[in-house]
Every structure is written in structure tokens, then in C-alpha cells.
Structure 1
Amino acid sequence: MTRAHIPGIIAMALIVLASNILVQFLFGNWLTWGAFTYPLAFLVTDLMNRLYGPSAARKVVFAGFIVGVVCSLIGTQIQGEFGPLVTLRIALGSGIAFLTAQLLDVKIFDKMREGAWWSAPLASTLIGASVDTALFFSIAFSGGLSFIEPSNDVSWAGEMLPMLGAGPVAPLWVSLAVADWMVKIALALLALIPFRLIVLRFREKAALT
């Protein structure tokens, strides 16, 4: 790790920390406030990959993973209205989803880095975010994986309801996952703007030195 990597590590740590706090607060019926901060992790990973390469990006990912593990450990010790704020299934889902999706993002970005400036960050984030959502919500809330933590009753997440209040009938956790995924995709598109501006600014500064 070099001094140049420190801003990326700090940014990733702050995003993971903020997301773990904000996930406790609801936004409407299907989301939490954490859904709007967590996708920024993909922006940080892609910027580090573009500016410093995949090795630096992976270091930032592992730093974020460690912060996430610490947050999960703390969350298991805090009792909420219905038990610990973080259950074993949520902790496993969060950790596995983050590490898998972010490392996949790094790999896809690196494979596509020679294409159009927007292709690598967009494709890597879209695929990584989709994998992240699928892994987290299925591990944390799917009734088919209840053997992971038999004492944790997640039957509420399996309630059959119209998807997002208007679509076909599906388990509640599927609506939560779809809403989360839609936010990730929207932010992936918006993140192309700061990605482009930061990369151009970095190159301008590098040309002057």
C-alpha cells in the first residue's frame, strides 16, 4: 500500500460504516437509507482500479471488508426491538456479498479497461451490484436457507405480497431485493459522471507534474 491509496481506503471505510448505520433506518416501504450510500463502494473500487490498477482496488476492497466485519460484530452485541441488530445470516450475507461482488467488479473492470471509458465502470458495477443483491438477500432472508441459523425466524420475509406493491405475488424479501437492485443500477449510471470527472482531473494533475 502506498500513500496514494489511503484516500480510497478511507472513502471505502466511511461508505461501509455509513451504510451499516443507515441500514437501520427505513426509507419508504422497501428500502433503507443504506441503499443510497452502499453503491458508492463500487465507484471507489472502480476509481482505484482505473487510477492505480487491480491490485490497489483489491486492497481497498479488503479494507472495506474488514470494516464491514467489525460493524457486524458490533451489531450482534446491540439489542434492538426484535433481537440483535445484526443476525448471523445478515452478517454472513453482507460479508459474502460484499467480498464476492467487489472482487468480481475488480476482475471485470480490469478485463474491460481498454474499451470506451464508460464500459468498464458500467459493466463491472452492473454485474457486481446484481450479484451483491442476489447473494445478500437470499442468504439473509430466503426461507430455503433457514438451516444457516435455525433460531432466527425470518418467516416475515417470506410473506407473499404483490412485488413492490403492484407486481406479481412474491416473497417480501424479493421485493426488498428488487428495490435495492433498482437503486444500485440507477446510482451506477449516475456514478459515471463523478467517475469521468475524477479520472480526468487526476490525469490533468499527473500531466503537470
Structure 2
Amino acid sequence: MTRAFLPGILAMAAIVVASNILVQFLILDGLLTWGAFTYPLAFLVTDVMNRVYGAEAARRVVFAGFVTGVICSLIGSQIVLQGDGYTYAAVPLRIAVASGSAFLIAQLTDVAVFNRFRGGRWWRAPLVSTLIGSALDTALFFTIAFSASITLFGPDADTAVNWAWEAVPFMNKGAPMPLWVTLAFADWLVKLSLALIALVPFRVIVQRLAPARATA
């Protein structure tokens, strides 16, 4: 059965690696990164594994993705980039901790919520679990990574992310708020959209895998 999980593990690892690379590329004047469009696919992989192979298989895939993310963060923390007269780590400490924590908690929550709604209509479990998991992921990541109210990482770690504390109009139009709040909201909107779109590949993949598993 472990071999059956391998495609899910590889898919999750590929998504995590791709997202860690693509997050470096900004779009829409820095409002989003290309990684915002690949990372939500992790919820699709988790939900497919959960539907076809069960919660334990989904959790194994999640832990594989978590380990992959930790490795990416360790590598990124050793890469030094050049700014305007200064240098900085590609993956600062706060972002590394936020990324790993948000991923693990949100994905495991997704697995639990999916199980809660497993017996309903086919779309209910993946949609509800992804919406809740995505919202939790966004809230945890951006708060831990950028909120000025969290000071446990120390002044050096805060300095690496204090650019996100700048007060700017919310979504470029509303009342002034810390930049990271706008970034979080934009990220969540992408996750929300992809949660709906992902129902199509979820349905197709599950219909292909479920009969194959039944005859295996």
C-alpha cells in the first residue's frame, strides 16, 4: 500500500518545492507571487489521498510535504541575496517557522475536516476542508511571519520582515493597514478561487483512482 501512496508523496513534494521557488517571483506590483497559485494545490493532493486511500494516507503525504518544506527552508536560509546596499537570507527565520507551522497545522486540519464531511455529497468534504484549511494556513503564516505583535523571534528576525509593517491602503484602496494584511487577504482570495476550481480535477482524479484501487 505504501507504493500506492508514492504518487501523492511525489506530487506533494513537487508542489512544495515549486512553491518555495516561485514565491520569489512577484506579480501585480508585489501583491502576489507565482507561488500563491501553486501552493493551494497541496490541498488538492491531500484531499485526493484522503478520499481514495483514507486519512492515514493523507497524513503521510502531509508529513512528507512538511519534511520537504523544512529542507527547502534550511537551504533557503543559507542563500544570501543582495539588496540595495544590504544582504539578506532568501528565507528569513520568521518566514521559515511560519511556513512550516502553517503548512502542518492547516493540512492536518484539512484531513480532519474532510473526514467529518466524508459521508456527504462528493464536493462537500473537499470544498469545506480546503476552505477551512486555506483560511487557517493564510492566517497562521502571515501572522507568524509578519505581525509586529509577535516579538519572540528577536530584533534581528523582526528586522528581516519589518518591510511588511508599512501602513498602506488596504488592497490599494481602503484604509491604511500594515502591508502584510493586504498580502494575506490577496493570498486568501487566490486560495478561495482555487478551492472552487480544484473541485473539477478532484472529481476526475478520484473517479480514475478509486476503481483502480478497488481492483488492485
TM-based fold match above 0.5? yes
Pairing partner for 1:107 from 106, 112, 115: 112
Residue 24 in structure 1 maps to residue 29 in structure 2: no
Amino acid at match of 2:152: F
**Cα shift at 1:166:** 1.1
Q: Any unmatched runs of 5+ in structure 1?
A: none
| Runs of at least 4 residues off by over 4 Å | 206-209
Residue 51 in structure 1 maps to residue 88 in structure 2: no
Residue in 1 that maps onto 2:40: 39
Residue in 2 that maps onto 1:178: 185
In 2, distance between residues paired with 1:76 and 1:114? Answer: 43
Cα displacement string for residues 125-182 of structure 1 (whole angstroms, at most 9, x for unaligned residues)? 0000000000000111111113313213133211111111012221100000000000
Amino acid at match of 2:200: I
What secondary structure is seen at the aligned counterpart in 1 of 2:177? strand
In 2, distance between residues paired with 1:205 and 1:4? Answer: 11
Residue in 2 that maps onto 1:194: 201
Mapping 1:4-153, distance limit 5 Å: 4-29=4-29, 30-81=31-82, 82-152=87-157, 153=159
TM-score, normalised to structure 1, is 0.96
Amino acid at match of 1:7: P
Residues paired across the two proteins, number = 209
Please tell me whether the aligned partners of residues 106 and 124 of structure 1 are also in contact (alpha carbons under 8 angstroms).
Answer: yes
After alignment, is 164-173 or 49-58 more displaced?
164-173
In 1, distance between residues paired with 2:60 and 2:205? Answer: 20
Amino acid at match of 1:174: V
TM-score, normalised to structure 2, is 0.93
Q: Any unmatched runs of 5+ in structure 2?
A: none
In 2, distance between residues paired with 1:6 and 1:204? Answer: 18
What secondary structure is seen at the aligned counterpart in 1 of 2:188? helix
In 1, distance between residues paired with 2:14 and 2:120? Answer: 30
What secondary structure is seen at the aligned counterpart in 2 of 1:109? helix
In 2, distance between residues paired with 1:206 and 1:61? Answer: 21
Identity %: 61
**Cα shift at 1:124:** 0.3
Change (3 A) 1:103 1:208: closer
Cα displacement string for residues 19-51 of structure 1 (whole angstroms, at most 9, x for unaligned residues)? 000001101121011000000000000000000
What secondary structure is seen at the aligned counterpart in 2 of 1:145? coil
In 1, distance between residues paired with 2:13 and 2:40? Answer: 13
Please tell me whether the aligned partners of residues 89 and 149 of structure 1 are also in contact (alpha carbons under 8 angstroms).
Answer: no
Task: Quote the RMSD (CA, aligned, Å).
Answer: 1.3
